[in-house]
Structure 1
Amino acid sequence: MTNIDRIIETLGAAPGALCDDCISRIANVSPRQQVNALAGRLSHAKRIFRQYGLLCCDCGRIKIGNTLFEKLSGGTPASLATPSNGFQPIQPPQTAASIVIPQAAVVSPPTPTASLAQLSRNEPHIAHGVAATPRPLLPSSLVEGRPWHWEGNVQILLGQYLDREGWHIQRFADTESKEAGIDLEAVRNGRHVLFEVKGFPTTVYDHGANRGQAKITSPSSQARQWYSHAMLKMLMLLEQHPDKEIALCFPDFMTYRRLIHGTRTSLHALKVSVYLVTESGEVFAALGGLYRV
């Protein structure tokens, strides 16, 4: 029996939704990240319904939940529709998952991009008879020695999710070297999105002469500064790229949720989307409800 078979069997026997941790324990699939990766594939293939904000029927916690699509008759049952943090739960997707970023402008279809196989080798490809620029190599794992909410790792989680959902990554900035410019650029089906990504601060310095020493500024206070930096960068991107869609991305911390909520009217008016990334690699829209990207 494969790990996918174990996950399907476990979900089939469960009376409700199960989180990744409980699936890993009950189905004996380890590490837990393996459950996350396989559940993402099963969700994309429409074999399971996967959503943040579901009540796990085993541990009783509100987390990212999973259930079989065949159990969803006539929409999300009440047992799965448990709201979290005041957000409205989403409905099961009826079509292939796609980013629901408000259209900033009508843009012409992009030049055909490389296949995933070519992307993985970082090779050039031919578009309309002309050799295209080699695509950036998307990291396959998080940077060791850094927390998952470090900006570079948040960017990797976002890029990996977009890649799984069929988006082609045209630019992936090197956060470690503090490369300036657009953090992540992705295209799909005529959509062209520029992402500004931020992390969440740690309690100690992670580089420089003070590395390992405790910071004077609290993480939540520093996160507010980083949020303001992201807002400024967003305004500059809107000015510089009026024909592109602009999106912000943050790790899922309550500080950022509050800041997003407090600026939601302005962000809606500017047609800028904001997304949250969880430690397990799920990506959700943060404006108007937790709608699956």
Structure 2
Amino acid sequence: MQAMVVTHLATHGWQILSVADTASRAHGTDIVANKGSERIGVEVKGFPSKRYADPARAQEKKPTQPSTQARTWYANALLSALRLKSRQPSLTAVMAFPEFVTYRSLYADTKPCLDQIGVKVWWVSEDGAVTADE
């Protein structure tokens, strides 16, 4: 997911300033990029699944359902976006999610508040296309 968003940004003229190392589970903003005078911070979440993505645990089944994971990951992304906006008000905070029904539902429930505070949401399709929800 993160690589798809980085590719999208670079293809559309954004200068990538930093990308978090997801393999090491690095903390902080997943992607920071500039285009002209605009700077964005992107928090990226992936597809929830029944199995672990870590190859060492790939055969293990996760104890939580994908829809429950999605709710937790959405809340985490929202908290990260709020903290980012608080620390750097001039920066545009973006949450990027894969097309997944639970994410869409949570977004529909929170869109009025996200619009008020200026947090953007991007959707990433399985083929890597990124679209902004306006």
The interval holding the TM-score normalised by the smaller chain is: over 0.9
Shift of 1:211: 4.1
Letter in 1 for 2:49: T
- In structure 1, what is the Cα distance between the partners aligned to 2:6 and 2:114? 22
User: Structure 1 residues 208 and 166 mapped into 2: Cα distance closer, same or farther (>3 Å)?
Assistant: closer
Q: Which residue of 1 aligns with 2:44?
A: 197
Q: Which residue of 1 aligns with 2:106?
A: 259
Shift of 1:216: 2.5
Shift of 1:252: 1.2
For each residue in 1:215-251, what CA deviation from the matched residue of structure 2 results, as whole angstroms up to 9, or x when unmatched?
2211011110110111111111111111211111111
> Please, what TM-score do these two structures have when normalized by structure 1?
0.44
Within a 5 Å distance, the mapping from 1:132-147 to structure 2 comes to none
Within a 5 Å distance, the mapping from 1:98-113 to structure 2 comes to none
Letter in 2 for 1:174: D
Q: Give the alignment partner of residue 229 of structure 1, picking from 68, 76, 81.
A: 76
> Please, what TM-score do these two structures have when normalized by structure 2?
0.93
- In structure 1, what is the Cα distance between the partners aligned to 2:52 and 2:118? 35
Letter in 2 for 1:274: V
Q: Which residue of 1 aligns with 2:91?
A: 244
Structure (1 or 2) with the greater helix fraction: 2
Q: Which residue of 2 aligns with 1:284?
A: 131
Q: Contact 1:194–1:245 at 8 Å: present in 2 too?
A: yes
Aligned length: 134
For each residue in 1:90-113, what CA deviation from the matched residue of structure 2 results, as whole angstroms up to 9, or x when unmatched?
xxxxxxxxxxxxxxxxxxxxxxxx
- In structure 2, what is the Cα distance between the partners aligned to 1:270 and 1:238? 8
Shift of 1:185: 0.7
Letter in 1 for 2:15: H
Helix, strand or coil for the counterpart of 2:42? strand
User: Structure 1 residues 210 and 282 mapped into 2: Cα distance closer, same or farther (>3 Å)?
Assistant: closer
- In structure 1, what is the Cα distance between the partners aligned to 2:69 and 2:133? 20
Q: Which residue of 2 aligns with 1:166?
A: 13
Identify the structure with bigger relative contact order (alpha carbons < 8 Å, sequence gap 6+): 2
RMSD over equivalenced CA pairs, Å: 1.5
Letter in 1 for 2:94: A
User: Structure 1 residues 163 and 210 mapped into 2: Cα distance closer, same or farther (>3 Å)?
Assistant: closer
Q: Contact 1:251–1:277 at 8 Å: present in 2 too?
A: yes
Q: Which residue of 2 aligns with 1:109?
A: none
Aligned residues: percent identity? 37
Q: Which residue of 2 aligns with 1:15?
A: none
Helix, strand or coil for the counterpart of 1:247? strand
Letter in 1 for 2:118: K
- In structure 2, what is the Cα distance between the partners aligned to 1:268 and 1:254? 20
- In structure 2, what is the Cα distance between the partners aligned to 1:285 and 1:247? 9
Letter in 1 for 2:24: S
Letter in 2 for 1:159: V
Please list every run of 5 or more consecutive structure 2 residues that lacks an aligned counterpart in the other structure.
none
- In structure 2, what is the Cα distance between the partners aligned to 1:193 and 1:209? 34
Structure (1 or 2) with the greater strand fraction: 2
Q: Contact 1:206–1:212 at 8 Å: present in 2 too?
A: no
